[in-house]
Chains A and B, each alone.
Chain A
Amino acid sequence: MAQCQTESHLAAPAKQNNLKLHEHTNKITTAYFPTTKNPPPPHTSGNPISAFDSPTTHMTRNPDSEPEARKPTRTGMRLIVPLQGIVQGRGGLLLGSLIPCALVYFFQVYLKRHRSSNPQSPSTSAENLPELHRSSSRANLLTRGSIGRVHVSARASSIAKPNDSPYYIGLDRVREDPYDEMNNPNGIIQLGLSENRLSLDLIEEWLSRNLSGSMLAEGGDDLNIRGIATYQPSDGLMELKVAMAGFMTEVMGRTVSFNPSSVVLTSGATSALEILSFCLADQGNAFLVPTPYYPGFDRDMRWRTGVELIPVHCRSCDDFTLSIKALDQAFNQARKRGQKVRGVLISNPSNPVGNLLSRVMLYDLLDFARERNIHIISDEIFAGSTHGNEEFVSMAEILNSEDSDRDRVHIIYGLSKDFSLPGFRVGVIYSFNENVLAASRKLTRFASVSTPTQRLVVSMLSDTQFTQEYMKTNRERIKTMHDLFVEGLRELGIESAKSSACLYCFVDMSRFISPYNEKGELELWDKLLNIAKINVTPGSACHCIEPGWFRCCYTTLNEKEIPLVIERIRKVVETCKLSG
């Protein structure tokens, strides 16, 4: 049965066709039993409980620290209405009797779990968000009748939920108790934010040399406000597109020449990714994403688009490299479920592992995409932050000769990581597909780069001598920090995943967790946060299928702080039971 496609942009929420059973049971079971790779029929005991154990994966780059009370009664209504349909015997005797019993049991368990945590499991292959796609009319039944509060959309309801994920809790704790060498030496050291603070001094120097410390890069003494104040093309000034294309060419090794006309500028890579998601997929469609992946993808690709992410698990025994076989399996399973896969989303260099995709893998990926006639989104935002000997290869590079497949490849870039300017909100969509470019350009009206910022960035990026020196020095500094950190961990007997890039490493602490599962991982995370006083990102937040891995960013530290961090880790792991 073909998946119900939503009508253009004016439609009811997408119907979930993950379990091909009676419509009513379908609705309830998809609400409470997130699909797994082999979805069990609802009248077996399946174990839905584990699905609700894990923390939410609503990771944003910017945590919000305002707690809000949940309203558990809302879920009650959502169950009762469809249950009536069952009870009215539409499902037949077997379904009509067995299922309500099973459901009442699971309903109680669900309510209990749902109150305290957000139901998302990293091990499900299809993210089923009960909040996002549920027919909003059920939520309305409640909001209308009982409280009389004014309604907010289903999309808003899910986003407004309190942040109970370790990612946010950690960032909040750092904010409350930040480490400071002088004033707060026992504070929490931040290793959970993928920011690069190593080379900002170089940019500061450049600013004082070239602009005398001014923010406004006008040139001359004429502060021509008119030039930057008025309406500009929403997809960016041509000068910035030219400068950015040149910068990308430089950063990615000069093996491919980026064309300014294929550059679309957006207010940050977050916006770029969302715009691409809107362009390439309809509500209810899906992207395959290798795990572990950047927690922000769940927000960027899904929140407002209604698109889903299907994790494709990679394992440490393979150095977390992607297997085409696994991609293929995931694709086929999605197809069997009636879920339309529109593309593959990769990050290269990858977040959180920090490894690079090989040239061979990129070619294989392209073959895979061609055979299935789907897109590839390659998030290459860390392309310039390599520190190893491995060469970074952009998707753009392998396309030079493969003209016919250019239409399916889209690259994301930005200045937040390589150039340390996350606050300026400068992101890039680079596509070879004219139609995608045309649609994206129009969508940038919702996410444009501020013109004074564009002007400033143009002058910085146009100074190619500066950018080359900057990239070279920056890489050296990242390498120094990386080597120091990895070596320090190694002295504790802790290994990290092989990585040649990025601002962090993916560390294996699985020996120290007990039990060997997500619960154990979170317990260790908690100890690291509250006893060792360091904030790191647990692998479960990145949908990693193996428990015990943690992403540790070291580019927010200085060299002196590394031994301190290692020492703190040592104290904690020494007290941990070694499992297995």
Chain B
Amino acid sequence: MAIEIEKPTVGLSKVAVSDTHGEDSPYFAGWKAYDEDPYDELCNPSGVIQMGLAENQVSFDLLEQYLEKHSEATNWGNRTSGFRDNALFQDYHGLQTFRKAMACFMEQIRGGRAKFNPNRVVITAGATAANELLTFILADPGDALLIPTPYYPGFDRDLRWRTGVKIVPVHCDSSNNFEITPQALEAAYNEAESMNIKVRGVLITNPSNPLGATIKRSTLEEILEFVTSKNIHLVSDEIYSGSTFSGEEFVSVAEVLEAQNYKDSERVHIVYSLSKDLGLPGFRVGTIYSYNDKVVTTARRMSSFTLISSQTQQLLASMLLDETFTANYIKTNRERLKKRYQMIIDGLRNSGIECLKGNAGLFCWMNLSPLLEEPTKESELILWKSMLHEVKLNISPGSSCHCSDPGWFRVCFANMSEQTLQVALTRIHDFMDRRKAMKTSN
């Protein structure tokens, strides 16, 4: 029998073949299960309900109403050169009006407690790109960023894959509501040093994903002190800043800087996007706001790889500069999210399940640790699988967020109708009843 000589296949890079994209983790496995059997109220009422996607669908009507009423926002402009100029505009500075609009919107979200300069706004196609870009700029391959756990699973891919940068977790746990402590920061820093890894910065998400809670002012001040003492950077991903349930509780790092007259601010960078607050992830609108001139210049040039479509910039600029609209949107969106949050918390409590006290975001941080056979990651995954296949809910296990306490799950509530949420809550209630019945019968 002839032996086939295998032709050498043309090679690909390590980036191409690595699995740092993380698409084999449970976080994404649940999505696959949902894709195969998606819930539909009419056509597939027993399908999997997607509670693993942090998308905001509660306020689309406000956007639609605005666009209907303001057709001038959706036109190329009355000037004959409106379309032409826009179609040719590929300047990585971004449209001046759009940057102004983003700066104004960010100010409004913070109740005017911090000022944003449009010239420090760098545009990127989504916060995903913004976070990766900042990582390229602030760290060299082999360096590390410290990130408090639990954190958004996407960071493992977005911050590490192409950049070659590492993540060293800052461990937070349920003993103090997962708050970030200076001791935990110090411990993580030392751990990195002991492995000869250079720490370049701390990345926080505020309000936090997956906790659904804002970071206290005092904690922010401690974090700022820490990064200043180590002479490293602070990236504050404030993508959920407009999704707080009340206007007062959220404190942005920008406010802390303003209070201290912007001393030592050159190490601070804020990431923002319209994907969560405005429910427009498809538009791919992200920004980096940096207090460091060199970072702004560099980020701007690097943003060539990830610019926002000029059409989209134009479309959003007039909408976001309309302060009547934005004030109303922010207020209404907050109220609706708060209502949803209350609904899910009450529903879960009725089933005997507690959550971390939250005040922001599109999800709640649910504590199912009492249900675990053993307080281990493996038990958590077994529980997660039964939630997925038995209860038909795709929720995100805490282990995929690197949570050190097993048994916690992130449950999204804003990407569905109230009816669907009710169905999900009923399923959970029944599931808990069944477990109680099983226990008593054993």
Contact = CB atoms under 8 A, between A and B. Distances in A.
A280 B20 CA distance: 16
Given A62-B92, A228-B282, A216 B16 contact: no
Interface in A393-422: 404, 407-408, 416, 420-422
Interface string A370-412: 0001110000000000000000000000000000100110000
B83 A203 contact: yes
Contact of A446 (B267, B306, B315): B306
A231 interface: yes
A452 B198 CA distance: 42
B295 interface: yes
A450 B309 contact: yes
B25 interface: no
Interface string B281-301: 111110000001111011011
Interface residues of B, number: 92
Nearest to A197: B88
Contact of A64 (B68, B280, B301, B307): B301
Contact of A229 (B11, B17, B60, B87): B60
A62 B304 contact: yes
Contacts of B306: 267, 271, 446-447
B90 interface: yes
Contacts of B164: 6, 9-11, 283
B131 to A, nearest CB: 9
Nearest to B20: A9
Nearest to B299: A156
Interface string B262-282: 000011000000000001111
Interface stretch (A143-151, A472-480, A508-516): A143-151
Interface in A415-452: 416, 420-425, 433, 435-436, 439, 442-443, 445-452
B161 interface: yes
A271 B162 contact: no
Interface in B228-260: 231-233
Q: Which of B76, B80, B233 counts the most A-chain CB atoms under 10 A from its CB?
A: B76
A569 to B, nearest CB: 25
Nearest to B15: A278
Contact of B307 (A9, A216, A425): A425
Given A66-B297, A449-B309, A423 B136 contact: no
Interface string A503-537: 00000000000000000000000000000000000
Contacts of A416: 90
Interface stretch (A207-215, A245-253, A326-334, A463-471): A207-215
Nearest to B143: A153
A184 interface: no
B162 A450 contact: no
Contacts of A308: none
A243 to B, nearest CB: 16
A422 B300 CA distance: 17
Interface string B72-103: 00111000100110111111110000000000
Nearest to A422: B90
A223 B233 CA distance: 43
Q: Which of B53, B125, B282, B298 counts the most A-chain CB atoms under 10 A from its CB?
A: B282
A230 B76 contact: no
Contact of B140 (A60, A136, A451, A456): A136
Interface string A202-238: 0110010000011110000001111011111000000
A8 interface: yes
A215 B74 contact: yes
B315 A452 contact: yes
Contacts of A228: 282-283
B298 A159 contact: yes
Contacts of B53: 231
Contacts of B394: none
Contacts of B356: none
B1 interface: no
A267 to B, nearest CB: 5
A367 to B, nearest CB: 14
A423 B14 contact: no
Interface string B202-217: 0000000000000000
Interface string A188-211: 000000010100100110010000
A152 B294 contact: yes
Contacts of B76: 207, 213, 215
Contacts of A299: 304
Nearest to A60: B304
Given A408-B10, A425-B307, A451-B283, A155 B90 contact: no
Given A204-B84, A226-B60, A278-B162, A150 B136 contact: no
B181 interface: no
B63 interface: yes
B95 to A, nearest CB: 9
A154 interface: yes
B140 A155 contact: yes
A272 B332 CA distance: 40
Contacts of A150: 231-233, 266-267, 292
A447 B294 contact: no
A496 B201 CA distance: 53
A280 B13 contact: yes
B15 A423 contact: no
Contacts of A213: 75-76, 83
A214 B67 CA distance: 11
A62 B90 contact: yes
Contact of B63 (A229, A420, A447): A229
A156 B15 contact: no
A553 interface: no
B200 interface: yes
Contact of B14 (A9, A13, A151, A225): A9
Contact of A435 (B16, B200, B301): B16
A358 B197 CA distance: 52
Contacts of B304: 60-62, 268, 270, 299
Nearest to A137: B198
B10 A453 contact: no
Contact of B302 (A11, A216, A232, A303): A303
Contacts of B163: 9
Contact of B266 (A149, A285, A404): A149
Nearest to A61: B90
A281 B12 CA distance: 7
Contact of A342 (B11, B74, B143): B11
Interface in A268-282: 268, 270-271, 274, 278-282
A342 B314 CA distance: 40
A160 B298 contact: yes
A12 interface: yes
B55 to A, nearest CB: 6
Contact of A223 (B9, B13, B64): B64
B281 A160 contact: no
A436 B15 CA distance: 11
B343 interface: no
Nearest to B92: A62
Contacts of B92: 60, 62, 64
27 contacts: A6-B141, A6-B164, A12-B142, A13-B141, A62-B304, A144-B231, A153-B143, A156-B138, A207-B76, A207-B83, A213-B76, A213-B83, A214-B75, A215-B314, A231-B282, A278-B13, A280-B12, A285-B13, A304-B302, A420-B87, A446-B162, A450-B282, A450-B283, A450-B312, A451-B282, A452-B309, A452-B311
In the A-B complex, the 4 residue pairs with the smallest Cβ-Cβ separation, listed nearest first, are A423-B310, A451-B282, A439-B16, A450-B309
Given A304-B136, A304-B162, 4 more contacts: A153-B139, A223-B67, A226-B60, A232-B282
Interface of A: 6, 8-13, 60-62, 64, 66, 68, 136, 140, 144, 148-156, 159-160, 195, 197, 200, 203-204, 207, 213-216, 223-226, 228-232, 267-268, 270-271, 274, 278-283, 285, 299-300, 303-305, 342, 373-375, 404, 407-408, 416, 420-425, 433, 435-436, 439, 442-443, 445-453, 456
